[in-house]
Structure 1
Amino acid sequence: MRNFMQMIPGGVSAVVVLVLASMLLSIVPGRPQMWLYPLVRQAMQFKIDYQTRDMPAKETPHFIVKYTEADADMADMVAKAAEAAFEPVTGALNYAPGGKILVLIYPDRQSMKKAYGWAGDASAMGFYWGGVIQVLSPKAWMKNAQSAEEFITTGPIAHEYTHLVLDYMARGNYSRWFTEGLAQYMEYRINGYEWITAGNQLTGQLYTMAELTADFDELPNQALAYRQSLAAVRYIAEVYGDAKLGQVLNYLKAGVKMDKAIEKTLGLDIATFEALVNQWAKGTMKEYKQAAN
């Protein structure tokens, strides 16, 4: 059997496809861009599925989990976690993608990082890309690699599945800060998990909403950018209610841009929204010292 890296598309080919897709989408205005986007995503999904056709797979009602022989004993755990995330996420977002979702298990961090020429955080346990959820084998990071409960509550499945559902729902029409905030909010809502560090306290200098929108992945303090994105989504859900968060999602689904979706839903311009989120977060959300106690 071919090794894992040979089964999935190489970094160069993936970059070429993404560049071509970006060029195609950039020349198509407004609404047509939203129906072209799913076609590009579907093409990438078909390619990944084909490239991994020789991998053993475990099917569940909503997912297909592919893995290497080294992770044969992890397939059930990952499949269980995926199914555990399905109802809470689709129920909260009121949307379920059609068909079965492909989940790939990478045996180690190196193969996960190199598969698509990805230069993400070395500590990441998974990512969503091209209609496919990709996760690091529990063996590579969990203290007890046989604990399904630990993987469900602290693993990346709920987070990455939220990315996927939003991507299918809004057809790419969302900001990076919003998809990361929503994914963290679902983790918080389902498992009570928050990413809190000494470096992402909300009481100090914060990024502006303009910075989060334009340069999310390039901001030097990624932990703070993620924490602020969670704060923004939690503010909408907890201050205005889940119905308002759902309204934002519906506007995005209809093709309304991010800032305008918030303005139309909450009656706030983005500057006022930013100020209110920051004020609320500083007085409401946990900080590092509090979480450590």
Structure 2
Amino acid sequence: MVYLERIAVGTICVAVLILATWGFPRLYGALPILTYKPLNTLARYYTEWQTRGWLVSESQHFRAKYLAPDVGIVDLVLDAAEEQYYPTTTLLGFQDSGKTLILIYPDRQSLAQPFGWANNEEAMGVYWAGVIRIVSPRDWVQPAEEFEIAFKTQGPVVHELAHLLVDRLAKGNYPRWLTEGIAQQVEKQITGYELPGPEPEEILAWYSLEEMDKSFDRLPDQTLAYRQSMIMVGRLLEKIGWEGIREILKLLGSGRSLEEALYLVAGMRVEELLPSFTLSP
């Protein structure tokens, strides 16, 4: 803990020095990028400390931590992660340095607990601050399904890995709908899996850009929000392909706004990605 406290103090000192040098107005726009690395480092050390009693297994690109009930599951998780690593990093054009930490939670309730979510939360995975967290397939693969195939085609690893790579490239400087749309498109291309949701012709109205930007996780119809994000990124892919997506993420990582990056790469405004109709506030 003393080591963590020293890191925290060092991070605060660096932040104060930058603020004094740059001034607040200039700093505000670059804040996510300037704080990205120190905050991720702090979060990683804290996560490692929180799970210091967990079991550990490693593969070439991943380090998994898990509890005793998942001793028989960890090899499957690491195998799936390695199989999906190169296809995902090739699409997004980035390989993270070091080994990515994957935490395997025994059930959805234990995954929800660190984030203060309700116990009925249905998420099977989450990416946060450089760490992939997933629910053990023991908790959600149905008895009638072929266990390994179900996990590799429907499991959350590739989706959360895509979030990690977007985060690394853009250095935290992106809206939620963009990373969700990219992760769904990556998942669809690599495993063929698509989150359940209405088809575009079945939807009478869509969320506004402001709602998608500012309230994505609080929108009342999360199925619609996720489907809309996938469609918006799909429109972008049709115009600029994965190479263009990579360029946009790199520009975001250099401090450009999404509006600037989108115009420079695609010659578009963000509003042009929206479906034709929007839901009333």
Q: Structure 1: how far apart are the matches of 2:146 and 2:71? A: 12
Letter matched to residue 107 of structure 1: P
- 1:123 is aligned to 122
| Superposition deviation, residue 237 in structure 1 | 1.2
Give the aligned length. 255
| Superposition deviation, residue 119 in structure 1 | 4.6
**1:150 to 1:60, Cα distance in 2 relative to 1, 3 A:** same
| Superposition deviation, residue 193 in structure 1 | 1.4
**1:38 to 1:139, Cα distance in 2 relative to 1, 3 A:** same
User: Is 1:159 aligned to 2:159, yes or no?
Assistant: yes
| Superposition deviation, residue 42 in structure 1 | 1.2
Cα deviations by residue, 1:143-182 (Å, 9 ceiling, x for unpaired): 1487222211100000011111111121100010001001
**1:218 to 1:32, Cα distance in 2 relative to 1, 3 A:** closer
- 1:220 is aligned to 220
**1:74 to 1:183, Cα distance in 2 relative to 1, 3 A:** same
RMSD: 2.5
**Range 218-227 or range 242-251, more displaced:** 242-251
- 1:59 is aligned to 58
TM-score by length of 1: 0.80
Secondary structure of the structure 1 residue equivalent to 2:115: coil
Contact 1:38/1:168 (<8 A) preserved: no
Secondary structure of the structure 1 residue equivalent to 2:239: helix
Contact 1:162/1:186 (<8 A) preserved: yes
Contact 2:127/2:160 (<8 A) preserved: yes
Secondary structure of the structure 1 residue equivalent to 2:126: strand
- 1:90 is aligned to 89
Secondary structure of the structure 2 residue equivalent to 1:29: helix
In structure 1, the gaps of 5 or more residues are 1-19, 280-293
1:194-209 correspondence to structure 2 within 5 Å: 194-198=194-198, 203-209=203-209
User: Is 1:186 aligned to 2:186, yes or no?
Assistant: yes
Q: Structure 1: how far apart are the matches of 2:186 and 2:169? A: 16
1:30-49 correspondence to structure 2 within 5 Å: 30-31=29-30, 33-49=32-48
Secondary structure of the structure 2 residue equivalent to 1:113: helix
Secondary structure of the structure 2 residue equivalent to 1:79: helix
| Superposition deviation, residue 221 in structure 1 | 0.5
| Superposition deviation, residue 90 in structure 1 | 0.9
In structure 2, the gaps of 5 or more residues are 1-11, 277-281
| Superposition deviation, residue 76 in structure 1 | 0.7
TM-score by length of 2: 0.83
- 2:249 is aligned to 249
Cα deviations by residue, 1:103-123 (Å, 9 ceiling, x for unpaired): 111111211111232359711
| Superposition deviation, residue 250 in structure 1 | 2.0
Letter matched to residue 226 of structure 1: Y
Q: Structure 2: how far apart are the matches of 1:123 and 1:65? A: 22
**1:72 to 1:213, Cα distance in 2 relative to 1, 3 A:** same
- 1:285 is aligned to none
| Superposition deviation, residue 75 in structure 1 | 0.5
Secondary structure of the structure 2 residue equivalent to 1:115: helix
Q: Structure 2: how far apart are the matches of 1:120 and 1:171? A: 31
Secondary structure of the structure 2 residue equivalent to 1:216: helix
**Range 36-45 or range 258-267, more displaced:** 258-267
